[in-house]
């Protein structure tokens, strides 16, 4: 359970909303997109100073010991702003796995640095917890204690301070931490979403630290935390582009009337509102289930997984259609939401996979 009180949570949320509104607007998003990093580093730094990155890290390591509910709150704010920061990788999945593993001086140091905002982590591989799995990755540990191989789709792999490589090896799952102090080759990959920075990483005889001591439950839990954080991000983003669209329907005139007065368009808007609210309910329920270790967590997480995926896809796609020609330009912000939606669809497995997991969980509960 969270150690954060309700009043503190509200305060954090208000501060975050104020901050994002003031310093993470479309201008910040667009200037960040032009940079190598993909986002404005100053914004990342300030969020660290606000203590947001230690939200899911226990107090022993300089965090604030929050729960999935608190993480979701931050993720939703980030989703609204569309900032492409490595929050889920660095502040959600990696800490979950590090804290579940045998604690070493090195992992203690990394957790502290994450909480301070002085280290980012990129995750690659083909294991379930990996955002944007690469099914064709070739990663192998060698007898001399180094590792080699190749892995693509490593988000922010070029700028991260550590790589967390999670992959299946025989019938075993391995999680290796590689410091960027070591030499490996980074090949930036071109992404459809101009804010995203995937990279292909090639490693040859690179030293690593292996995370050990975690259980299958820990591993599953870390994956669930990623899915729930993503669902919150998607919910925030879907709501943001929905609000932009409703505003446009009120102000754009054709035939001498606001176009939002036409039933053909307002009926779509009403349906999208249902999607946004349903996504919000599903995401919040999953975060609560995860935070309270509820028995139906697997079901709640899977539900949020596909409802939020599908809602963000539908809302952002219809946003372009409802705007008409103006949203067929790069100048308008709608395409950025649409591209992000398409990118996140496969972040933790697609909606069909989540639907199957949902039904299986339902059957298991019966």
Shortest distance in whole angstroms from residue 346 CB to another protein? 17
* Residue selected from 42, 140, 274, 326 as contacting another protein according to rule CB under 8 A: 274
User: Can residue 363 be called a binding residue for another protein (CB under 8 A)?
Assistant: yes
Q: What part of residues 66-105 is at the interface with another protein (CB under 8 A)?
A: none
User: Among residues 107 and 351, whose Cβ is nearest to another protein?
Assistant: 351
Please tell me the number of Cα atoms within 13 Å of 341 on its side-chain side: 29
Q: What is the spatial distance between Cα 356 and Cα 349, in angstroms, rounded to a whole number?
A: 11
Q: Which residues, 6 or more positions from 199, have their beta carbon under 8 angstroms from its beta carbon?
A: 122, 152, 154, 155, 156, 157, 158, 186, 187, 188, 189
Phi-psi domain of 52 (left: phi exceeds 0; alpha: psi -120 through 50; beta: other): alpha
Contact 146, 208 (CB under 8 A): yes
Q: Is 280 in the site for another protein (CB under 8 A)?
A: yes
Q: Which of 285, 334, 341, 347 binds another protein (CB under 8 A)?
A: 285
* Residue 352 contacts another protein per CB under 8 A: yes
Counting residues that bind another protein (by CB under 8 A) gives 35
Q: How far is the CB of 276 from another protein (least distance, A)?
A: 10
Task: Tell me which residue of 317, 349, 340, 350 sits closest to 78, measured CA to CA.
Answer: 340
- Tell me how far, at minimum, the Cβ of 17 lies from another protein, in Å: 17
Q: Which residue in the set 19, 46, 108, 362 belongs to the binding site for another protein (CB under 8 A)?
A: 362
Q: Binding string, 234-273, against another protein, x = CB under 8 A?
A: ------------x--xx------xx-xxxx--xx-xxx-x
Question: What are the residues whose beta carbons fall under 8 Å from the beta carbon of 186, sequence distance 6 or more?
Answer: 157, 158, 199, 200, 201
The nearest distance, CB 133 to another protein, in angstroms, is 21
Q: How far is the CB of 366 from another protein (least distance, A)?
A: 4
177 contacts 208 by C-beta, under 8 angstroms = yes
Select 8 or 277, whichever has its Cβ closest to another protein.
277
Shortest reach from residue 255's CB to another protein, in Å: 9
Listed in sequence order, the residues at least 6 apart from 236 whose beta carbon sits closer than 8 Å to its beta carbon are 75, 76, 77, 78, 79, 80
Structural tokens at position 179: 């410091």
Taking the complex as a whole, how short is the minimal distance between the CB of residue 325 and another protein, in angstroms? 20
Q: Which secondary-structure segment (H or E) carries 140?
A: strand 138-141
List the structure tokens of 300: 């709640």
Closer residue to another protein, CB minimum distance, 191 or 246: 246
**Which residues from 289-348 bind another protein, rule CB under 8 A?**
303, 306-307
DSSP codes joined into one string, 253-283: EETTEEGGGSHHHHHHHHHHHHHHHHHHHHH
- Which of 3, 1, 178, 209 is CA-nearest to residue 103? 209
- The secondary element (H helix, E strand) that includes residue 73 is helix 68-81
Q: Nearest distance from residue 252's CB to another protein, in Å?
A: 11
| Interacting residue with another protein among 58, 112, 173, 281 (CB under 8 A) | 281
DSSP-derived secondary structure letter, 139: E
Nearer to another protein, 114 or 282 (CB): 282
First to last CA, the chain: 27
Least distance to another protein, CB of residue 189, Å: 31
For another protein, the closer of residues 134 and 275 by Cβ is 275
Specify the residue, 108 or 355, whose C-beta has the smaller distance to another protein.
355
Based on CB atoms, which residue is closest to another protein, 23 or 350? 350
**Sites of contact with another protein (CB under 8 A):** 246, 249-250, 257-258, 260-263, 266-267, 269-271, 273-274, 277-278, 280-282, 284-285, 303, 306-307, 352, 355-356, 358-359, 362-363, 365-366
């Amino acid at each position: 359970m969270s150690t954060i009180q309700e009043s503190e949570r509200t305060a954090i949320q208000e501060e975050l909303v104020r901050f994002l509104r003031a310093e993470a607007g479309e201008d910040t998003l667009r200037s960040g997109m032009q940079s190598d990093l993909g986002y404005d580093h100053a914004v990342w730094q300030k969020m660290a100073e606000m203590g947001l990155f230690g939200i899911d890290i226990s107090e022993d390591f300089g965090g604030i010991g929050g729960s999935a509910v608190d993480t979701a709150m931050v993720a939703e704010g980030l989703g609204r702003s569309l900032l492409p920061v490595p929050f889920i990788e660095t502040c959600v999945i990696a800490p979950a796995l590090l804290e579940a593993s045998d604690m070493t001086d090195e992992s203690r140091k990394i957790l502290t640095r994450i909480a301070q905002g002085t280290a980012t982590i990129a995750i690659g591989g083909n294991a379930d917890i990996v955002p944007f799995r690469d099914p064709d990755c070739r990663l192998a540990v060698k007898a001399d204690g180094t590792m080699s191989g190749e892995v693509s789709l490593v988000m922010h792999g070029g700028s991260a301070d550590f790589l967390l490589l999670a992959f299946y090896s025989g019938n075993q799952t391995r999680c290796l931490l590689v410091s960027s102090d070591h030499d490996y080759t980074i090949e930036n990959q071109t992404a459809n979403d101009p804010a995203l920075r995937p990279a292909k990483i090639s490693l040859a005889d690179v030293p690593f630290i292996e995370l050990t001591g975690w259980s299958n439950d820990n591993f599953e839990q870390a994956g669930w935390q990623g899915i729930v954080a993503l669902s919150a991000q998607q919910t925030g983003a879907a709501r943001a582009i929905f609000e932009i669209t409703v505003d446009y329907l009120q102000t754009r005139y054709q035939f001498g009337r606001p176009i939002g007065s036409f039933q053909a368009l307002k009926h779509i808007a009403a349906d999208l509102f249902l999607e946004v609210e349903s996504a919000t309910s599903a995401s919040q329920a999953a975060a609560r289930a995860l935070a309270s270790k509820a028995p139906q967590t697997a079901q709640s997480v899977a539900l949020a997984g596909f409802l939020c995926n599908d809602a963000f896809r539908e809302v952002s796609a219809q946003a372009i259609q409802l705007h008409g020609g103006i949203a067929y330009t790069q100048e308008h912000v709608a395409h950025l939401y649409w591209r992000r939606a398409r990118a996140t669809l496969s972040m933790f497995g697609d909606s069909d996979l989540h639907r199957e997991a949902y039904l299986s969980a339902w059957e298991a509960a019966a």
